[in-house]
Structure 1
Amino acid sequence: MVVIKNNVVYDEGKKLSADVYYPNDTTSSTKILIFWHGGGWFRGNKKSVKNLGVDLANAGFMTFIPEYSLAPAATFPAAHDDALHFVNWLIKSDYTDKDDAKNIVQIGASVGGTMALYVAGKYGFPTVTWSAPVEYSTWIKNHPDVKASPAAKDDFGITDPQEIRNSFYKYFTLTYTGTDDERVLQKLDARSYDFTNLGKLMMINSAAELTPISTVLDFVKFLAQKNLGTQLLVIPGHGHAMDYGADYLDESLDFLYQTIKRQE
């Protein structure tokens, strides 16, 4: 039996809240998992991943699923700032004990994975990403002719799957940044984040999907050059984030469990 507490407000000013999923045997030693939902920073919400929240609680984690500001009403770095604000709130809240930061882990799906990377670099939480996009400035520069749309098939009659994915990639990127200014896009690139405190990281990506595998490999190489390790799992197919997340939940949780065990 999982107990769910909905709409726990963590930012009164922005009216942002999180849902909390408690395992039935929750104690002060229960580990905490933050799940960051995807949606291209312009859609998605905590309700859409309720079933996953239940699964994560059943796996033994007190699970928090926060909402964050969405574009185009809120542009970069609004969602990133919300993520840090949520973590600061959580650590200071009654939901955590003193020094509980060492008991927090993360999973992020799609752009939620991008935000998880941002948080992980600052706090060191063990983290798993599902299809986290990591490169924006170079990608936008290299795709000047791509027409941006969340539904390219309907809007432009495009039928090629890769062209549809490219159209969506450009759409959600520019919707969140609100500009194609390369200086802004570079700040959104994952390699621009502060990884001073980066801890254990696992990235899961499909071989051919929305997030180009070439950009992920470049990012892994970037981290390696900083002597920062990454586990990368490339799975067959073209599914993105939540398309395969449930199928690789065991691998994700095993990574987090093993990491926590080594830290104890």
Structure 2
Amino acid sequence: MLFTNVSIQFKIASVFVSALFFGHSYGQSYKGVTGVRDTSYSTQSAFKYDVKTHPSIKIVPEFQFPSVKEKRNITYCQVGKRKLNLDAFYNIEKTNSKKTAIIIIHGGGWRTGSREQHYPMAQKLASLGYICFTPEYRLSTEALFPAAIYDIKAVIRWVRKNAAIYNFDANKIAVLGFSAGGEMASFMGTTGNMPLFEGTYCHLDAKSNPNAVVDIDGTLSFVHPDGREGDDSKSISAGTYWFGYSKAENPKLWEAASPLSYVSAQTPPTLFINSAVPWMHAGREDYIKVLDKNGIYSEVKEFEGAPHSFCLYEPWFSPTIEYINNFLTKVFNQ
């Protein structure tokens, strides 16, 4: 389902509400909401798995650049007693022009992973002049969809409100994500400022739309025939944990949570950086067709033979940074 701009808010609201409350006979499952952090996906665990088939890979360590200053554990929002934090990485070299901000969303199947995994990326991009933010968000061990969506929307609004403090242009905010974070980055791009997905907390006086999207191996659709998310035959899938319904129990919700459902003339320029794992970019070509139809710029960069977690390692980290820098430079005419 690809929504057009005609009555888009009504159509989205109808699909989403009906997906949650009607059209299925199953109750939403909260058994995955354990309250215990899942640490199964980390850079080290990914490396241990990938080095078996790619013995020459190297984990990218954190950098120390004299020009980059860091502030960690900044609270961007509080939901009840829960404080949600992010980290800021910014270049202290003086410039006459305002810079570009990049929000980096970590992956881990909406259930595990951590923002610390992308500190090297944030540090490297900051050394090039970008203002980078690495937020946490509530995973499916803590809250079901759309809580994480609300959190990242709050991040974008917080970042936009702090543009003057960090000396970047409030109209030059890129959202970048890896894996599950890539899916959410694209979701941010396709649902910017939509009331249904804004939530009801934190910085609601600011806009949530990003001005560019970088999707690193994040699916564009949970229901696309090229995708594999939702296979619960051997164990509960990441999507089933996040939605509280299997795909069979509530397919409309899975569709309503897909960025491909909302891509439109309002979607910002998008860069897709992909591994050699085809199902990790399910829906990409259909998504790009809509961008092309509306004259929206996009690029695709794909690494032959690369594993899913490629952006955490050399030899792919450096060209990934180059692709991001070149894309944002072109989009924002820096």
**TM-score scaled by length of structure 2:** 0.64
Asked whether the equivalents of residues 9 and 16 of structure 1 are also in contact (C-alpha less than 8 Å), the reply is yes
Q: Please show how residues 202-213 of structure 1 align to structure 2 within 5 Å.
A: 202-209=271-278, 211=280, 213=281
User: What CA distance in whole angstroms lies between the structure 2 residues aligned with 1:210 and 1:29?
Assistant: 38
Instruction: Determine which of 241, 261, 271 is the counterpart of 1:175.
Output: 241
**Counterpart of 2:182?**
113
In the TM superposition, residue 228 of structure 1 has moved relative to its aligned partner by 3.8
**Counterpart of 2:211?**
125
Q: Please show how residues 198-237 of structure 1 align to structure 2 within 5 Å.
A: 198-209=267-278, 211=280, 213=281, 215-237=283-305
Q: 1:133 is paired with a residue of what secondary structure?
A: coil
Q: Does 1:10 align with 2:76?
A: yes
In the TM superposition, residue 144 of structure 1 has moved relative to its aligned partner by 7.9
Change (3 A) 1:98 1:52: closer
**Counterpart of 1:55?**
124
Asked whether the equivalents of residues 124 and 200 of structure 1 are also in contact (C-alpha less than 8 Å), the reply is no
In the TM superposition, residue 146 of structure 1 has moved relative to its aligned partner by 5.4
Q: Between the two proteins, what is the percent identity of the paired residues?
A: 24
User: What CA distance in whole angstroms lies between the structure 1 residues aligned with 2:125 and 2:292?
Assistant: 30
In the TM superposition, residue 195 of structure 1 has moved relative to its aligned partner by 3.9
Change (3 A) 1:198 1:94: closer
User: What CA distance in whole angstroms lies between the structure 1 residues aligned with 2:234 and 2:318?
Assistant: 29
User: What CA distance in whole angstroms lies between the structure 1 residues aligned with 2:230 and 2:122?
Assistant: 39
Q: Which runs of 5+ in 1 are unaligned?
A: 150-169
Q: CA RMSD in A?
A: 2.8
Q: Does 1:136 align with 2:256?
A: no
Change (3 A) 1:248 1:99: closer
User: What CA distance in whole angstroms lies between the structure 2 residues aligned with 1:25 and 1:141?
Assistant: 44
Change (3 A) 1:245 1:130: farther
User: What CA distance in whole angstroms lies between the structure 2 residues aligned with 1:106 and 1:219?
Assistant: 17
1:41-79 superposed Cα distances (whole Å, 9 cap, x missing partner): 101122222222211111111111111110132111111
In the TM superposition, residue 141 of structure 1 has moved relative to its aligned partner by 9.6
**Counterpart of 2:204?**
none
User: What CA distance in whole angstroms lies between the structure 2 residues aligned with 1:56 and 1:99?
Assistant: 14
Q: Which has the higher helix share?
A: 1
Asked whether the equivalents of residues 18 and 65 of structure 1 are also in contact (C-alpha less than 8 Å), the reply is yes
**Counterpart of 2:323?**
251
**Counterpart of 1:25?**
93
Letter in 2 for 1:67: E
**Counterpart of 1:189?**
258
User: What CA distance in whole angstroms lies between the structure 2 residues aligned with 1:147 and 1:12?
Assistant: 37
Q: 1:64 is paired with a residue of what secondary structure?
A: strand
Q: 2:237 is paired with a residue of what secondary structure?
A: helix
Asked whether the equivalents of residues 219 and 282 of structure 2 are also in contact (C-alpha less than 8 Å), the reply is no
Asked whether the equivalents of residues 210 and 240 of structure 1 are also in contact (C-alpha less than 8 Å), the reply is no
Change (3 A) 1:124 1:203: same
Letter in 2 for 1:57: A
User: What CA distance in whole angstroms lies between the structure 2 residues aligned with 1:196 and 1:96?
Assistant: 31
Asked whether the equivalents of residues 131 and 204 of structure 1 are also in contact (C-alpha less than 8 Å), the reply is yes
Instruction: Determine which of 149, 153, 156 is the counterpart of 1:80.
Output: 149
1:178-235 superposed Cα distances (whole Å, 9 cap, x missing partner): 1121011011111123645222111111233551x55322332344345544222232
Q: 2:171 is paired with a residue of what secondary structure?
A: helix
Q: Which runs of 5+ in 2 are unaligned?
A: 1-65, 193-208
Change (3 A) 1:245 1:222: farther
Asked whether the equivalents of residues 90 and 96 of structure 1 are also in contact (C-alpha less than 8 Å), the reply is no
